[in-house]
Amino acid sequence: MQRTDTAPKPVSMPKLSRETIVNIAVMAILLALPLWASSIGEDYYVNLASLITIFAIAGVGLNFAIGQGGMVSFGHAAFFGIGGYTTGIAAFHSFEETLFVAMPFAISGTNQMLIIWIVAMVICGIAALAIGAISLRTEGVYFIMITLAFAQMIYYFAISWPTYGGEDGLSIYLRNQLPMVDAESALTFFLVCFILLLGAIFVSARLSGSRFGAALGTARMNETRLATSGIDPFPIKLTGFVISAMITGLAGALFAELNGFVGPSMLSWHRSGEIMVFVILGGVGRLYGPVIGAALFVLLETYIGEWTQHWQLLLGLALLGVVLFARGGVMGMIAGRARHD
């Protein structure tokens, strides 16, 4: 029924779309730089790459909620922080050789990362189940604000809870351990983070393409449609929210390991905003968007900070430029509008 000026797309589509090429390039650079830096003994850059990777995982988590389920959470710092505190508290008890809970059964601390990750994700999942069950009754801006409210509650709780340091936070004196590898080594730790990032992206992609993903995506686009098709939106969205929180929680646990420190600033609304910035900068709903977003943000923050004391002004201008002139984030700018088959 309509004509187009130019022939739409060449018939023999090249196998790799532009987005795929960008994705591969970004991941290759993210992997190659620390390998190179480590080879010349500059662990600082390796840690910087780990930081980007960890932020990217947090972003992948939030992106699943926003990009797939349309749940714009302004409280994901809660999960990031809970993941972090799980690590911090486990390490604290393991270091002090005290028990976390004595009654009704004894739970001691641990310094095994694998266990900590699982526990952190489970706790985040439970927290998200509770927060989501209440928050998902609301929508739009109300959802943004109620998630913020829950995060703020946890933030104030952490600040005034003396056992684990309150505002001063908790130091992790020794990085926790992984079986068979030396997690203290910057490069090894980076590789672990990188593999987890790949895992998070893979899981997120798989889920998005599944029947569950189809339902979740429809919940974002048109909830009425979803219900009319016979699928209750609420449990679908809640499940999506929980999965998203668990991924972000894992990132929090890694962040604590990287810094050797946890504190309430992991839970603050600025942190929620930053995770959201990673997602938007990279491009909402783009699988690898958060990687680009996190990399860009960390690099801007690090390098503008070196130039000038007024780096926040430049950072602000840079962010503003991206929103105004690169619709759909950096990925949108490079690879065009998102396509859903």
Partner 1 sequence: MLLEVKGLEAHYGAAQALFGVNLSINEGEMVAMLGRNGMGKSTTISSICQMVTPTKGTIEFCGQSLNRMSSHKAARLGLGLVPEGRRCFPNLSVLENLSAAARKGAWTLDRVYDLFPRLKERKSQSANTLSGGEQQMLAISRALMTNPKLLILDEATEGLAPVVRGEIWQAIARLKKEGLSILIVDKTLKELLPLADQAVILEKGESVWAGRPDTLTEEMKDRYLGL
Partner 2 sequence: EVKIGMITTLSGGGSTLGIDVRDGFELALKQAGASDVKLLVEDDARKPDVAKKLADKFIQKDKVDILTGIIWSNLAMAVVPAATRKGTLYISPNAGPSALAGKACHENYFNVAWQNDNLHEAMGSHANKADYKKTFILAPNYPAGTDALKGFKRMYKGELAGELFTKLGQDDYAAEIAQIRASGADSVFFFLPGGMGIAFMKQYAQSGVDVPVMGPAFSFSQDILPAIGDAALGVANSSQWGKDIESEVNAKFVKGFKEAYGRLPSLYASQGYDAANLILSAMEKADVSDKDDFRAALKEADFASVRGDFKFGNNNHPIQDIYVREVVKEDGQITNKIVGVAIKGHQDAYASKCRMK
Partner 3 sequence: MTAALIFEQVLNGLQFGLTLFLMAAGLTLVFGVMGLINLAHGSLYMVGAFCCAWITQQTGSFWLGLGGGVLGAAAAGALIEMLVIRRLYDRDHLDQVLATFALILIFSEGTRMVFGSMPLYLNIPAALGGTMALPGVEAYPVYRLFIILAALAVAMLLYLLISKTRLGMRIRAGESDREMIAALGVDIKTLYTIVFALGAAIAGLSGALVGALRSVQVGMGEPVLILAFVVIVIGGIGSIKGALIGSILIGLVDTLGRIFIPVILKFFMENASANSIGAALSSMLIYLMMAGILAVKPKGLFNATN
Ligand X SMILES: Nc1ncnc2c1ncn2[C@@H]1O[C@H](COP(=O)(O)OP(=O)(O)OP(=O)(O)O)[C@@H](O)[C@H]1O
Residues that bind partner 1 (CB under 8 A): 1-6
Q: Round to whole Å and give the CA distance between 84 and 55.
A: 13
230 secondary structure, DSSP code: T
- The residue within the footprint of partner 3, chosen from 74, 80, 92, 255 (CB under 8 A), is 74
- The residue within the footprint of partner 3, chosen from 99, 114, 141, 221 (CB under 8 A), is 141
Residue 275 backbone phi and psi in degrees, to 5: -60, -40
Task: Enumerate the β-bridge partners of residue 112.
Answer: 177
Site string for partner 2, 36-55 (x = CB under 8 A): ------xxxx-xx--x----
Q: What angle do CA 193, 288, 152 make, to 5 degrees?
A: 70
Q: Round to whole Å and give the CA distance between 43 and 37.
A: 7
Do 144 and 106 meet the contact criterion of CB atoms below 8 Å apart? no
134 binds partner 3 (CB under 8 A): yes
Q: Round to whole Å and give the CA distance between 31 and 111.
A: 27
Identify what 149 binds: partner 3, ligand X, partner 1, none; CB under 5 to 8 Å per kind: partner 3
Neighbours of 164 (CB within 10 A): 16
Cis peptide before 104 (omega within 30 of 0): yes
144 binds partner 3 (CB under 8 A): yes
Identify what 169 binds: partner 3, ligand X, partner 2, none; CB under 5 to 8 Å per kind: partner 2
Q: What residues from 1 to 60 belong to the interface with ligand X (CB under 6 A)?
A: 1-2
Torsion of Cα atoms, 297 then 301 then 302 then 303, to 10°:
100
41 binds partner 3 (CB under 8 A): no
Which stretch in 3-11, 193-201, 287-295, 306-314 sits in contact with partner 2 by CB under 8 A? Answer: 306-314
Which stretch in 106-114, 151-159, 177-185, 197-205 sits in contact with partner 3 by CB under 8 A? Answer: 151-159
Structure tokens at 45: 């850059």
- The residue within the footprint of partner 3, chosen from 31, 33, 149, 300 (CB under 8 A), is 149
- The residue within the footprint of partner 2, chosen from 165, 217, 249, 282 (CB under 8 A), is 165
> In terms of CB distance, is 48 or 231 closer to partner 2?
48
Identify what 153 binds: partner 3, partner 1, ligand X, none; CB under 5 to 8 Å per kind: partner 3
Identify what 18 binds: partner 3, partner 1, partner 2, none; CB under 5 to 8 Å per kind: none
Which residues, including other chains, have CB under 8 Å from residue 317's CB and lie 6 or more apart?
none
Do 167 and 261 meet the contact criterion of CB atoms below 8 Å apart? no
162 binds partner 2 (CB under 8 A): yes
Which stretch in 87-95, 152-160, 208-216, 289-297 sits in contact with partner 2 by CB under 8 A? Answer: 152-160
Q: Round to whole Å and give the CA distance between 233 and 230.
A: 9
310 binds partner 3 (CB under 8 A): yes
> In terms of CB distance, is 138 or 210 closer to partner 3?
138
> In terms of CB distance, is 145 or 174 closer to partner 3?
145
> In terms of CB distance, is 192 or 245 closer to partner 3?
245
Q: Round to whole Å and give the CA distance between 339 and 266.
A: 34
> In terms of CB distance, is 165 or 293 closer to partner 2?
165
Q: Round to whole Å and give the CA distance between 302 and 81.
A: 22
Residues that bind ligand X (CB under 6 A): 1-2
